[in-house]
């Protein structure tokens, strides 16, 4: 959905540059760089919602009982069926005799609920807790406003937006990779419903001017096989029996008997860098193709027919 704005978006500027240069692998032994379903699934899985972190002044808690109480509290007191993808307790990055409970939600509705709608109880699982900081707004709750004039007063622009939409969490004027201003503005919402409503409408009104809006997606994460250095599949799905060195590009069977001779060579482009270096022009091209594929599929899933009519739009004749 933002493919037509590659020339301006800083997140996709690199993709546009890479797409202009078609590259091919220099080795016939390297798996095809065609974007496959596994690569798409892996890239999409990296768009997980950031966790909500509950801090407890206790070294160990009953995390299962705590989560059950949170689910019940949400349903009974807030009339909301909270959907969680996972949870785990951890003492990392906490003081002695303290721990954190990481809560991962399953969808944008559940994220919005915990982010702004829920009135947290004082205790969970019989233990007092605090939320030291809110998680970052995920890409699923962000959109891009296009064609914002360079002459626009961005302070007035932002203020008018926040008057119209009180659940705007963040306003970002995007810059390109050279840190020059663009005509794109990213808006992050704390409400999934508001974000979806604006995207369904396809436009937004700011200071009496109508702007087109597009869905926001970050650059895709690439899956690189640690066995053959091929793109788009896991090691366990790799069909190559030998191991390919990421440094010299040579194949070997016994790691104890292989020793790189000091020459660094990429198996994809032949350059003097490791074969899993994200700066490789072949890997950059693959990332561009993968991102374009994700953007296209996302556009299809977000497409709404604005011309659909219901019977209420056509009252019977007198």
User: How confident is the model over 32-65, as pLDDT tens digits?
Assistant: 556 667 777 776 665 578 999 999 988 889 999 9
Half-sphere exposure of 294 (CA within 13 A, CB side): 25
Give the per-residue pLDDT at 91.
81
Give the per-residue pLDDT at 44.
64
pLDDT by 10s per residue, the chain, length 318: 333 333 333 333 333 444 343 444 444 444 455 666 777 777 666 557 899 999 998 888 999 999 999 999 999 999 999 999 889 988 877 777 899 999 999 999 999 999 998 999 889 989 999 998 899 998 889 999 999 999 999 999 999 999 999 899 999 999 987 899 999 999 999 999 999 999 999 999 999 999 999 988 777 778 899 999 999 888 888 999 999 999 999 999 988 888 887 789 999 999 999 999 988 999 988 888 887 777 666 555 544 433 344 434 444 444
CATH numeric code, 139-216: 3.30.70.330
Could you tell me where in the chain the CATH 3.30.70.330 domains are found? 139-216
Give the per-residue pLDDT at 65.
94
Question: What is the rounded CA–CA span in Å between residue 207 and residue 298?
Answer: 29
Non-local (6+) Cβ contacts of 139 within 8 A are 47, 216, 217, 218
Helix segments in 225-311, DSSP class H: 281-301
Q: Does domain 52-130 have CATH number 3.30.70?
A: yes
- Taking residue 33's Cβ as centre, other Cβ atoms within 10 Å add up to 20
Give the per-residue pLDDT at 208.
94
- Taking residue 136's Cβ as centre, other Cβ atoms within 10 Å add up to 11
pTM for this structure? 0.64
Give the per-residue pLDDT at 34.
65
* Cβ burial, residue 72 (10 Å; 0-12/13-18/19+): exposed
Give the per-residue pLDDT at 255.
84
Half-sphere exposure of 18 (CA within 13 A, CB side): 23
Give the per-residue pLDDT at 181.
93
């Amino acid at each position: 959905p933002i493919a037509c704005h590659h020339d301006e978006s800083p997140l996709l500027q690199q993709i546009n540059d890479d797409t202009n240069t078609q590259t091919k692998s220099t080795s016939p032994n390297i798996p095809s760089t065609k974007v496959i379903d596994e690569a798409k699934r892996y890239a999409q899985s990296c768009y997980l919602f950031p966790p909500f972190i509950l801090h407890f002044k206790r070294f160990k808690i009953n995390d299962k009982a705590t989560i059950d109480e949170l689910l019940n509290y949400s349903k009974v007191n807030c009339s909301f069926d909270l959907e969680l993808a996972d949870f785990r307790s951890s003492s990392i990055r906490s003081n002695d005799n303290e721990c954190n409970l990481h809560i991962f939600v399953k969808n944008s509705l559940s994220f919005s609920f915990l982010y702004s709608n829920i009135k947290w109880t004082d205790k969970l699982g019989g233990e007092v807790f605090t939320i030291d900081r809110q998680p970052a707004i995920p890409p699923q709750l962000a959109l891009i406003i296009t064609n914002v004039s360079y002459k626009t007063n961005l302070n007035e622009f932002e203020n008018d937006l926040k008057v119209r939409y009180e659940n705007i969490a963040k306003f970002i004027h995007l810059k390109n990779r050279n840190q020059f201003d663009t005509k794109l503005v990213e808006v992050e919402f704390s409400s999934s419903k508001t974000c979806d409503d604006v995207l369904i409408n396809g436009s937004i009104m700011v200071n009496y001017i109508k702007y087109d809006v597009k869905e926001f997606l970050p650059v895709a994460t690439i899956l690189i096989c640690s066995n053959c250095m091929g793109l788009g599949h896991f090691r366990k799905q790799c069909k190559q029996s030998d191991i390919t060195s990421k440094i010299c590009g040579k194949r070997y069977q016994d790691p104890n008997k292989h020793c790189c001779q000091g020459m660094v060579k990429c198996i994809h482009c032949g350059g003097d860098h490791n074969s899993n270096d994200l700066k490789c022009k072949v890997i950059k091209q693959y990332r561009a193709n993968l991102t374009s594929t994700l953007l296209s599929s996302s556009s299809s899933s977000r497409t709404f027919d604005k011309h659909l009519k219901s019977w209420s739009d056509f009252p019977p004749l007198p």
